[in-house]
Every structure is written in structure tokens, then in C-alpha cells.
Homo-oligomer: A and B are copies of this chain.
Amino acid sequence: MSELLKGNAVIGQSGGPTAVINQSLVGVIEGLKGHPGVEKIYGAHHAVAGIVKGDFIELQDCTEDFLNKIANSPSSALGSSRDKPDAAYCKRIFEAFEKNNVRYFFYAGGNDSSDTCRIVNELAKEEGYELRCFHVPKTVDNDLVLNDHTPGFGSAAKFVAQAFMGDNLDNRSLPGIKINIIMGRHAGFLTAASILGRRENTDDGPHLVYVPEAPFDESKFIDDVEKVYKKFGRCLIAVSEGISDKDGTAIAAKLQENVETDAHGNVQLSGSGALGDLLSDLIKDKLGARTGEKLRVRADTFGYLQRSFVGCVSEVDQAEARQAGRRAAELALSGDLDGSIAIQRVSDDPYKVEFNRIELSDVAAKTQHLDTKYVVDGCNICDSFKKYLAPIVGELPEIATFTFDK
């Protein structure tokens, strides 16, 4: 075993916040605290943006009680960043590390963040500077490869499932066509979570589910809605913000005139009700013309509530996010190791996962997609998806309603 690497640690939180990213932060702190190799534990204010400015907060003296409160709070307590560092930016990160004798770097985020980790790690290697880099997985989109699922997803999925359970009853009470737009640019996991509370052999919605993995066709969409509406007199629809046509063009981008893009070149999908409203208008016009009715069509876009709502968290997700952080710290301190922590499922029943180290280059900048075996006819998710999802989300509240004769 190599000599003990001594120095400071930096923790950063990147990308879109989640309900449990602070669990991972606290898990890393817990794993590092009191270790002879670790002097200061720095929290980077606004992730890489804070690192290059030397904007740090010291975390090693936080009390257990305060850390638990932080862990139970949504969003990134250290502040996040949407910066996507290029080679020059990563060089500045590395220089800040050298200057501050940082020997341990933990970065919680999605696949872009693991790529930043990888580049900084390679820079350090080139310069012969010993630096342990660990990526801690985080994304409500659940789209990291080699992971059974990612911290943050379970809680967001619980929010979506509970929202649909209630909205299904709302739609049943005042029948009409209702569209709900759900986060997920490239992966449909979160949208698919809309079916979790759907009781079998009932008229429960969502009746239609559209994910980015299945090409979206406007005229098929109208046909799908018409079929359900004729059968139930209502229709509850889950739509991923990232639905795209057969050529891979996002419907949101096709329909919007003034498309805003972010630093990653991505079209703005969240923080706007445009896609829902446009699909709503489409149904009013096209289906309305067929039925001759003035249809009651409504659209809600769940937006940022999915990732930051206080008071709707999966306990499994909380515990796993904490454990992922702790495991990253343990591995970094155990020897000359770098990598990313992957949650990998060992068994469904009883539900059991392992927290395994994978190479940064194996997860960086790659996207995991929803297995299309779960997609039915391009417009629904089959109930077998629940077997995968249920243990990650945990128990849902029990609800009931009356059945009326037709």
C-alpha cells in the first residue's frame, strides 16, 4: 500500500439539484471526517465556478445535527453551476487544487460532471500531482450508464407517482383531457414513473405515456388520445419534456419559435409551459375537429417541483445517496483509486444493491436510456416496469375511490 496521501479535500455539487444531493454531500463529509489523510474539507461554492475562484467554505467542523438538517434539505446546499468546463477551465481547476493543496476531489453530478472529474484527473496524472478524484452519481433523469439507478431519481419518481395518483382522481372527478409534462431530456425513466400508482384493472391513468425513447408522431398522438377518450370519457397523459420525432428533433424545439439554449447547447425544456400548451392546442384543434366537441384540455408542467419539493422524499433514495457519498470517501482514502460510484442491483426480492467503483471514463458523457421493452405501442409503459421502480421509490400512500355503474 502506498504512503498515506495527506492534504485537503474539495466537494462540489453540479448540475440540476435533487432532493437528496445533500445526502451525498454529507455522506462524503462523514467518510472523510477525522481521517489522518484529510486536513480541511472544503465545500466549493457553486461547484467549478467556486473552485477556480477559491470560493470555499470549511466543512470539517460542522456538527452532526447541522449536517443532518442539511442532508434532509433539497437542492445543492453548496450552490451549483451549469458551467461545462473545457480543457482550459479544467486547467484552472487543477491549478486551484495545487494552490490549495487539494488531494481529494469529490464531485456530485450527472454525466457532464463525471466528465469534468475525468479531465481534471487526467491533468493531475500528466502533471504528476497525486489527486484522488471521485464522481458521486446524481440525476433525477436516471440516465447514467452502468448504474441500476441514480441518487435523486427515486425521490423525483415518488413526486411524479404521487402527483399522478392525485391528478388521476382529479381528472376522474372533472373529466377531460389532461397532459402532464415531466422532466427528462433524453431518458424517459421519470415519465415512466407516472404509472407507479396506477391500480391494475381500473380506469386509472395515466392512459398514455410518451418517452424520448419512442419517436413521437403528432397524428398517432391524436389517434391515441381519441381511442382513450372514447373509452373512458377522459384521458390522462404523461409526456416527457424530451419527446422527439423519428429524426431525433425535440418536439419542444420544433414547436417553439424562439428557442433558448443553455451553455451545453441544449434547448430550454424546463421552466416553461410551452410544450404542454402546444400539445393541448393540438388536441383542441385536431381532435376537436373530429369529434365536433369543444374539448376540455388542460396541461400542467411539473417543472422544478420534481427535484426540489420539500416533504416528498424516497427514504431508500435518501439512504443510498448518503451511502454513495460515504463509499466515494472510503475508496478515495483506501489507496490510489479514482472513479465513480455505481449503484448496482444484486436482487429484486429482497431488494439489495451494491455500491461499486467504476472507471470515470466508463460513465463520463454517456447516456443510459429506458429499456424499450417497457414501452408499449409507443404510447404506454407496461406494468412490469413497476418491479424495477417500486423498491427505489418505497411505499406510496393508500388511496381509494368509488366505482359507479356505467
Chain A contacts to B: CB under 8 angstroms = 13, 16-17, 19, 43, 45, 55, 57, 66, 69-70, 72-82, 162-163, 165-167, 169-170, 172-174, 178, 197, 270-274, 276-277, 280, 297-305, 307-312, 396-402, 404
Contacts and interface: CB of A to CB of B under 8 A. Distances in A.
A166 B308 contact: yes
Contacts of A76: 173-174
The secondary-structure label for the interface of chain A is loop
User: Which 9 A-B pairs give the minimum distances between C-beta atoms?
Assistant: A273-B273, A271-B298, A300-B303, A75-B169, A166-B308, A69-B400, A73-B399, A170-B308, A76-B173
B169 A308 contact: yes
A162 B19 CA distance: 12
Given A17-B170, A400-B70, A300 B301 contact: yes
B312 A311 contact: yes
A397 B301 CA distance: 25
User: Which of A55, A80, A271, A397 has the most B CB atoms < 10 Å from its CB?
Assistant: A271
A312 B16 CA distance: 24
A381 to B, nearest CB: 19
A163 B399 contact: no
18 contacts: A17-B173, A69-B400, A74-B166, A77-B400, A77-B401, A80-B174, A162-B311, A166-B309, A166-B310, A167-B305, A271-B297, A271-B299, A272-B280, A273-B300, A301-B303, A310-B396, A311-B396, A311-B397
A162 B166 CA distance: 17
Given A55-B404, A166-B305, 19 more contacts: A16-B174, A17-B169, A17-B173, A69-B398, A70-B400, A72-B397, A72-B399, A72-B400, A73-B400, A73-B401, A75-B170, A79-B172, A79-B404, A162-B309, A165-B310, A170-B308, A271-B299, A301-B303, A312-B312
Copies in the complex: 2
Nearest to A300: B303
Contacts of A169: 17, 73-75, 77, 308
Given A304-B300, A305-B305, A309-B166, A75 B270 contact: no
Contacts of A299: 271-273
Contacts of A302: 305
B163 A305 contact: yes
Nearest to A170: B308
Given A79-B404, A169-B308, A401-B77, A273 B276 contact: yes
Given A162-B309, A272-B273, A17 B304 contact: no
Contacts of A172: 75, 79
A162 B313 CA distance: 12
Contacts of A19: 166
A29 to B, nearest CB: 12
A307 B16 CA distance: 27
